A and B are shown apart, each in its own frame.
Chain A
Amino acid sequence: MRLKEFWHRLGSPRWFYQMSGPWQLGFTVAAGVLLLVGIIWGVAFAPPDYQQGNSFRIMYVHVPTAILAQSVYMVLGAAGVLLLVWRMKLADMVLQTMVPFGLAMTALALFTGAVWGRPTWGTWWVFDGRTTSTLVMLFLYFGLYALRQAIPRPEAAGRACALLAIVGTINIPIIKYSVEWWTTLHQGATFKLTEAPAMPIEMWAPLLVNVIGIYCLFGANLIANLRNEILRREQATKWVRELVARPLT
């Protein structure tokens, strides 16, 4: 019974708005602090790699953005299911507002990958399984953005995007396993759930800090975007009118 009640509440934008204020502050502060620490640690204090030297430091940006690019897409896919099956309003808002963030992360992952590839592999770009499937993900994000703009009715646009988001999640396992299924220039996974990373702690600790930090940034963006979208969509309701009437804080 408890679970069902929670489920119904999650469908209520007002309830979400009222409980999420402190969460947003927490995630924002955590993201700022962790990323500041992780980035300075990675760029200045972590040891260089015995082969790559200091270009190895690019990993501290590349790996977190690449992980997050995929995570954001998975969240969009899940939101797509919640919207199509349960018609959850919050899911539609997630699907609408998180596309630019995911797009930026994917673009950043591709860009940092190219800049890392130049000094290590000897080329900016190669069409191997990992890089190509990540490029496909960038196009999926573009598609989600364009589809939203192309359909004037919000409800129809939401459902079309939900469908594209769900079908696009097929690409995620392809990105993940591309380095195992096919021969690629790209190396295997840096962080695996089942094994310890193949590097000493002074090298992976800053990476872990950055990964956690960027997930906090994702949380902060998600909550902030949802809160704004809730106010925008519910601006005619009494509770939003009262809230808006209060002086700016």
Chain B
Amino acid sequence: MQRTRRNRLITVAFLFAGATLTVGLLLLAANENLNLFYPPEKVVNGEAPTGTGIRAGGMVVEGSVQRTGDDLDVEFVLTDYQGSDFTVVYSGILPDLFREGQGVLVQGQLDASRVFRAEQVLAKHDESYMPPELADLDLDRGSAP
């Protein structure tokens, strides 16, 4: 390779490496803040702050959804299936995909007794899709963790 070209290639490579390093360090420094939500473990062990607006996420425990009092008030438990779970209370319309056994994300505040008072509930879905007939057969999909 010609010398000038080699020098230009080295310059570009150094520039790119420098920029990558900068961005990498920035992402590393901001790592915690880049997470969209607190998993159940961090809500339970106290890492998630109380009394301030946060997001938390987890799987809706089967059979935990209870309509309390008025028509839109609802209460359910979120879990990571690893022993951490917490209660969410919410008043409002739940998204279509809200189902027991599915992932959801709640936005709101943790009160002093670590009950999550949600202002918004979002449904999370994964990348495994299935036709309804197959789902009815209740096949083991092999993609569950």
* CB neighbours of A51 from chain B (8 A): 97, 99, 102, 125, 135
B57 engages A183 (CB within 8 Å): yes
Nearest chain B CB to A158's CB is how many angstroms away?
14
Q: Which of A15-23, A97-105, A114-122, A228-236 contacts B (4 or more CB under 8 A)?
A: A114-122
Chain A hits for B67, CB < 8 A: none
- Verify if B8 is at the interface (C-beta below 8 Å from A): yes
Count: A-B pairs, CB below 8 Å: 117
State in angstroms the CA–CA spacing of A183 and B48 once bound together.
Answer: 14
Cβ contact within 8 Å between A129 and B36: yes
Chain B residues contacting A183 (CB-CB under 8 Å) are 35-37, 39, 57
Decide if the interface of chain A is mainly helix, strand, loop or mixed: loop
Contacts A50-B134, A122-B122, A129-B34: A198 and B95 contacting too (C-beta < 8 A)? no
Residues in chain B near residue A123, CB distance under 8 A:
120, 122
Residues in A whose Cβ lies below 8 Å from that of B34 = 129, 181-182
> A residues 81-127 with Cβ under 8 Å of B?
81, 84-86, 119-123, 126-127
Q: What 9 additional pairs, Cβ within 8 angstroms, besides A51-B102, A120-B125, A185-B36?
A: A48-B132, A50-B130, A129-B34, A174-B23, A190-B127, A198-B143, A200-B131, A203-B129, A203-B131
Q: List residues of chain A with CB under 8 Å of any chain B CB.
A: 47-52, 56, 59, 81, 84-86, 119-123, 126-129, 163, 166-167, 170, 174, 181-185, 187-190, 197-200, 202-203
